[in-house]
Amino acid sequence: MAKKTEVKDYIRTIVDFPHEGILFRDVTTLFADPRGFRMAIDQMLHSYAGERIDKVIGLEARGFILGGAIAHQLSVGFVPVRKKGKLPGTTISEEYKLEYGEAIVEIHDDAIQPGEKILLVDDLLATGGTAEAGIKLVERLGGEIIGCVFIIDLPDLGGRKRLENLGMDVTVLCEFEGL
């Protein structure tokens, strides 16, 4: 077995999942390996060393795993951005477009205080729609996104460019061509 030296080495590709023609980039193999998981968290934090970060937001669902670990490492709060109807308190919501249809994400209306510096975290950057919705939620609450960090970018889908066009600092650990 080849030695794993990069985060990308820990990610498995599953062909034709969830349907034919898709190459699914599975980060659960990365999460399951203590060395790989530590490497990913450390690298995700590297670009933001020395930055003031008040809270980390994680996008449902794998962003919760990463965001929780990063928030713990930074000794800051963690805030989930969830699908509509999953949070128990008073929320604000943001609708965004998917490949086929639309979706809505929500955040508690008291989760971010005006002026707080926020790091947005998720596992995969595809079209950028979910991340953009998360950014809009934070900004509506008066928070400032200081960066968006992802393990994987699928550059063919344009998400990074979309977020950069919004003025966001985007960090990715690896890229995979195609869908």
User: Domain extents for the chain?
Assistant: 52-175
The pLDDT assigned to 2 comes to 79
Locate 83 and state its tokens.
């699908």
Q: Return the pLDDT at 178.
A: 72
99 flagged as catalytic:
yes
Q: Per the residue annotation, which of 20, 38, 60, 62 is the catalytic one?
A: 62
> CA-to-CA distance for 39 and 109, rounded, in angstroms?
33
Fold classification of 52-175 is Rossmann fold (3.40.50)
Blockwise average pLDDT, block size 10, the chain, 179 residues: 91 94 95 98 96 98 98 98 97 90 95 98 96 98 98 96 98 90
Provide the pLDDT for residue 179: 62
Element (H, E) at 108: strand 101-108
Tell the burial category of 89 from Cβ atoms under 10 Å away from its Cβ (0-12, 13-18, 19+): exposed
CA angle 91, 94, 98 (to 5 degrees): 135
